[in-house]
Each structure stands twice: as C-alpha cells, then as structure tokens.
Structure 1
Amino acid sequence: MIIIDLLENDIEKINQTARLLHESFEAWPTIDSAIREVFESLSDDSISRVLVNGDDEVIGWIGGRSQYDGNVWELHPLVIRKDSRMRGFGKLLVIDFERQVYQRGGITIILGTDDEYNQTSLANVNLYDDIPAHLSNFESLDHPANFYRKLGFVIVGVIPDANGIGKPDIIMAKRVKSVD
C-alpha cells in the first residue's frame, strides 16, 4: 500500500476515486457529481491523496482545502473502500494528511461529520436550547466522530439541522503545529 498525490492527468485513478465516493456517500448520487468533486480537489489550494494497493487500485481517498490564508485546512472527504474498512487505512490517510498540512505551514485541521442516522446524542434534539450543554454531554454510538476523537480531534461546534431537522453537522478540529 502506498499513499500518493491524485494527479489531474491520472484519469483511471480519478475515475476509481469517483466511483468510491459515489458508492460510499449519498451526497454524491451520480457518478458525474462524484467526478466533479474529485476534480475540484485537484486545485492548487487543495490536498488530494489516494491510498493505492499492489494492483494499482484506489482503496482510499482523503482531500482537503486551504482556508484562512493556509492556517486552517478542511479535511473533506475521507473515504475507504467498503471491503477495506476497519483495517487502519483511514488512520493512515489522516496521519498523511496531517503531515501534508504541516509541511504547507498549516496550523489547524477542521472537518464536519454529519449525523444523519441518529448515531450521536446531538441527533433528533433541539440543540438551540443549550448548545454548550449538548456538546459537553456528547455521546456517540457507531459514528465517525469516535474515529476522529481517537486521532486527537476535538468537537469545537455543531451546525444544528444542517442535513434536515435533527440531523446536525458536528465540527471537529485538531492542531497540527506545536505551540512554541
């Protein structure tokens, strides 16, 4: 397994990455929408890395965009092929992404992780009545927030109803540059 840059001229890997995205997330309901997303990740202010197996197949992808003059990078998206999940590949891609951000002078990585399937204590409640209390009492079942927390990310906010009533987007962040 190797992690490499996804390049604009590597159409085969772009197509594999788009298929992976389309098959894994409802947010990309067509292969064309997934291809557009992949091409958007190839801009100069972006990071786009793929995990490739020995057969030159894309089994994972991580992307991100620079914000706040390069101080902050948004991790978006992270996807692993279904038959390769729960084997540490997501962790490898996140660690590689952290290195890429650090090498570019970034300080912080942010990400949003949706709760569309009632997997956390933030789903199906009125978050507006006391957002800080809901965040401080956060609990999660089998939600990606657990994965990111194990990698050192912390919850820094929530966007209530981002995906419909009772379906929030949980905002997480991690500093990658040490404080001198």
Structure 2
Amino acid sequence: MSQTAHLLHETFLGRCEDWQDMDSARREVTDALQEDRISRFAVDANNQVIGWVGGIPEYGGRVWELHPLLVARVWRGRGVGRALVHELEALARRRGGQTLWLGSDDENNETSLSGVDLYSDIPAAIRNFRKLWGEHPCDFYFLLGFCITGVMPDANGPGKPDIFFAKRL
C-alpha cells in the first residue's frame, strides 16, 4: 500500500489538487481497496508497483468509474496503462458493467476546454475539442476507444474543467 500511495502522490504532484500529500494518497489507496471496488496493480521484476487502476461501481454496477489510473513515468508508453485498463474492463464486464467512464481534469490549460467560458456553448466546445500541449491523457483514452461524453465547467476553479470520457463495455 505504501508503494502505491507514493506512486499516486508522485504522479499527480503539481498536476491537480488531489493527492498533494502522502496522507491523502494513503487514504485514496485505502478507499480503493474496499470490497465492492476493483483494484489492479502492475509490478516490475523487483516487485515494485509501477502502475495501478481502480474501478468504482455506480448505477447498480452497470456503470463503472475508472478511478484512478497511474503508471510510473519510466514505464509509460510500454503498454502498462493499456493492460491495466483492459483488465479493469474485463473485470467490470464480469460484474455486469456495461459502461466505463472517467473524469480527467484540465487544471493546466492543456486542452481547448480549459481557460475559456464553456457555458456559452458546451456542445460546440466538446465537438471542437483538441489537445493543446502537455501531458493531458486524452489521446491515450481516445486510443482505448473512449469518447468525450460531457464536461463540468469550472470544476476545479474558473476555466478549469473536468472532462468526462466513457466507452461501452
């Protein structure tokens, strides 16, 4: 649990409001290990945690939230995240899941949905979505078959939305 909390803290340090200290990272890992949830870990040859995906059941288990997903920086681009998401999809399907969704914040102005007033035309903003720069994971989710299903404007402060992605299982 300590390795996973450290990886969570390290992965999101300075990227979002969550898990900016080890206590909150430990609480997140503890919460994710509840019996009704799914957690899968990837480890290297030295049994060090290099990735983690979690799933939270919603809508009577028909919908699952992917929360969280993280891969150690040196392991990114090697298929670890993809394997973890595929494993979560399979396990959620076995439990009756029909949809997998996630929220991906843009607190760093990395997409066209950040730094603007989305309320004037939310559907057009989603239709015209693009990644501008940085490490926002949208391209990864698109490659796995997710699409944008919505946005919560100002979720993390003015001009800092939470972008909702989903896919059918």
**Residue 53 of structure 2: aligned partner:** 62
Q: What is the TM-score of this pair, normalised by structure 1?
A: 0.88
Structure 2 unaligned segments of length 5 or more: list them.
Answer: none
Q: Which runs of 4+ in 1 moved over 3 A?
A: none
Structure 2 residue 119 is the aligned partner of structure 1 residue 128: yes
Map 1:1-180 to 2 at 5 A: 14-26=1-13, 27-141=18-132, 142=134, 143-176=136-169
Q: CA deviation at 1:41?
A: 0.5
Q: 2:33 aligns to what SS in structure 1?
A: coil
Q: CA deviation at 1:85?
A: 1.4
Q: What is the TM-score of this pair, normalised by structure 2?
A: 0.93
Q: 1:147 aligns to what SS in structure 2?
A: helix
Q: Aligned AA for 1:36?
A: R
Question: Which whole-Å deviations, capped at 9, do the CAs of 1:5-38 have from their partners, x for residues lacking one?
Answer: xxxxxxxxx1100000011113112111111100
Instruction: Give me the whole-angstrom Cα distance separating, in 2, the residues matched to 1:97 and 1:164.
Output: 31
Question: Which whole-Å deviations, capped at 9, do the CAs of 1:57-114 have from their partners, x for residues lacking one?
Answer: 1000001100000000000000111221122211111111111111111100010001
Give RMSD over aligned pairs. 0.9
Q: CA deviation at 1:52?
A: 1.0
Instruction: Give me the whole-angstrom Cα distance separating, in 2, the residues matched to 1:15 and 1:32.
Output: 11
**Residue 5 of structure 1: aligned partner:** none
What fraction of aligned residue pairs are identical, expressed as a percent? Answer: 55
What is the total number of aligned residue pairs between the two structures? Answer: 163
